[in-house]
Structure 1
Amino acid sequence: MHDISHTTRPTAELTEWFFDDYLPAWTGAALRDDPAFIGAYWASPLWVGDDHGAATLMPDDNAVRQWAAGTFARLRDSGYARTEVLDRRVVAHTTNGGTVEVLWSRVRHDGTEIERLAVHFTVMRTQAGIRAVAIQALGTDASTL
């Protein structure tokens, strides 16, 4: 049997990085229209895929910031106030990387839902710190992963 005890600390670290650091920073940046913050959390190049078409490679920091800015604008135009985490799963596959799967609801100020997404992040420890290197998202009405 494979001993996975070496992944306990990395799983906790990824969980803390994502839910205590990245997600609040993302929400604040979306409300301020500050896509420049994303370089501290997303790597470039970055693969992004969803159910609207083939995955896209964001080749550099500028492309990543532009994609984030477009997402922020779309959400702000819909009255975005916050993101609620409905379910989550974090797995460290190595001491330097893993996956974060999250089901979240992006919510307006009045509490109504803008969208619900099941999102899969592939994250790696880089020389600059932990960064998402690939993101896949699927619109859903599910309440659990």
Structure 2
Amino acid sequence: MLFKMLKTGAALAVLASAPAFAVAETAAGNDANDKTNMGALGISSDLQSVIAKFATAQKAEFDRETTEAEISSWFFDVYIPTWVAVGNGELDRGPEFVLDFWSTPMFVTGDEPYMALWLTEDSHVVEFLAMQHRFLKAKGFTHTHVPDSKVRAYNGLGGAVEVIWSRRAADNSEIQRYVVHFEVAKMNGTWKIIGGHTRTTDAEKDGDTIDGAWAL
């Protein structure tokens, strides 16, 4: 029912209950002061135990440029080519491939269709991707042009990517155009998209820039 509503473009606001916390990958130190420090920050003993259980590495000094280069390489050299190749049929993989790049749960909002929802199961994440690919294939989708992009690292394990998606057919005509803000996090050694916010935009008005697109 959820995806039928999305396909028809009906307005919706589906807010499923998200987990209280989801530990992706922590870089907590191993010294005896960790619990004391977390307690001073008001972190409960239960959450301290979860953080300690899932801590995987000694905290490293944050290098913004290195982290942003890492996010950029993963996103533009691996994720986008795979998404496009599956979407246009060049790569023979099912929609389940997206679980390598999108997290479960994942939060998404958008204006067309109008939506705000948690995708809380792998099957929901996969179908959310599959319905996009079905639509684009029917329109003759072959490639995605990215006229502008921005990458920001919040810390060594989290960041954001903003892009203008210009999804196009073989004759370079535009099928869809969105400006998108992706939240990304490093999980088990690899980056994943954990949320996204999209808005339709217009090439004649946005000037091929992210700032111009968000200003519309």
TM-score of the two chains, using structure 1 as the length reference? 0.93
Structure with the bigger percentage of strand: 1
Once superposed, what is the RMSD of the aligned Cα atoms?
1.5
Task: Identify the match of residue 21 of structure 1 among 57, 60, 78.
Answer: 78
Task: Identify the match of residue 102 of structure 2 among 34, 42, 65.
Answer: 42
Moved more, 18-27 or 33-42: 33-42
Q: CA deviation at 1:5?
A: 6.8
Distance 1:23 1:11, change over 3 A: same
Distance 2:62 2:147 in 1: 27
Distance 1:5 1:61, change over 3 A: closer
Which structure is higher in RCO with an 8 Å CA cutoff and minimum separation 6?
A: 1
Match of 1:144 in 2: 209
- Cα displacement string for residues 60-96 of structure 1 (whole angstroms, at most 9, x for unaligned residues): 1111001100000011111100001110000001111
SS in 2 for 1:86: coil
Which residue identity does 2:110 align to in structure 1?
A: D
Structure 1 stretches lacking a partner, 5+ long = none
Distance 1:75 1:6 in 2: 38
Distance 1:95 1:121 in 2: 16
Match of 2:22 in 1: none
Q: CA deviation at 1:34?
A: 2.5
1:69 and 2:95 equivalent?
Answer: no
Distance 1:118 1:56 in 2: 18
What's the % identity of the aligned pairs? 32
Match of 1:56 in 2: 117
Contact 2:107 2:119 in 1 (8 A): yes
Q: CA deviation at 1:56?
A: 1.0
Deviating above 3 A after TM superposition, structure 1's stretches of 4 or more consecutive aligned residues are none
Structure 2 stretches lacking a partner, 5+ long = 1-60, 211-216
Match of 2:50 in 1: none
SS in 1 for 2:124: helix
Give the structure with higher Rg (CA). 2
Moved more, 52-61 or 64-73: 52-61
